[in-house]
Amino acid sequence: MPEKNSGENAAVGEQGVVINETYDWLEALTYAVVAVILIFSFVFRTAGVDGSSMETTMHDGDRVVISDLFYKPAAGDIVVVNSPNFTGRPLIKRVIATGGQYVEIVDGIVYVDGEALDEPYASEPVNEGNEGDITPLTVPEGELFVMGDNRNASTDSRFSAVGTVDERYVMGRVLMRILPISSIGTVK
């Protein structure tokens, strides 16, 4: 049997190293893809902004990351809600009041439990006639009163078509904007 020379052994050894490194990279890539899928299935989700109801905070076409992990809704949070009352698509709104709180709108100003809200995020005060058909009201326990930041172009809890939202329909709290790239970052 003829013996292989050392040059052939070195070439076979290098080829084995390349194959092993390629296998290691593919294995690492597979684990990374599986981890991302699991994280975005159970911890984070993405949602798209549809319409102008959250301007100037968010704009039509923005994409956001949301999470409901260990989340309890609180006033001021921006949430994504999906309810049988809606048109079949999730809505992105700001939580104004939670269960047991009293909401009213007087002269374009939103009051919760008799206190005027400081709302630097609202694009403008509520115009006369946009107070809604169900305010003033006390928010039922386990439900939320939500509004868009663009108060005069938002269908929200002020109107019976939406009404207060059961907390069980909160898909998650908005954590950050990821699109457009020029606006990546947290959302207040």
Structural domain count, the chain = 2
How would residue 3 be classed by pLDDT, with cut points 50, 70 and 90?
low
Same domain, 181 and 111: yes
Q: Is the pLDDT of residue 37 over 90?
A: no
Structure tokens at 71: 């989340």
Q: What is the pLDDT of residue 7?
A: 56
123 is catalytic: no
Same domain, 158 and 102: yes
- Worst-scoring range by mean pLDDT, 6-15, 66-75, 122-131, 164-173? 6-15
Query: From the candidates 4, 6, 52, 53, which is the catalytic residue?
Result: 53
Same domain, 144 and 81: yes
Q: Is the pLDDT of residue 6 over 70?
A: no
Kindly report, residue by residue over 93-116, the tens digit of the pLDDT.
999 999 999 999 999 999 999 999
Range of the structural domain that residue 143 is part of: 46-186
Query: From the candidates 6, 41, 83, 93, which is the catalytic residue?
Result: 93
C-alpha to C-alpha distance for 77 and 85, rounded to whole angstroms: 21
pTM given for the model? 0.79
182 is catalytic: no
Contact 151, 132 (CB under 8 A): no
Q: Which residues contact 154 (CB under 8 A, 6 or more apart)?
A: 53, 54, 93, 147, 148
Same domain, 50 and 136: yes
- The answer to whether the Cα torsion of 172, 186, 163, 102 is positive or negative is positive
Same domain, 7 and 52: no
Q: What is the pLDDT of residue 36?
A: 82
Same domain, 62 and 2: no
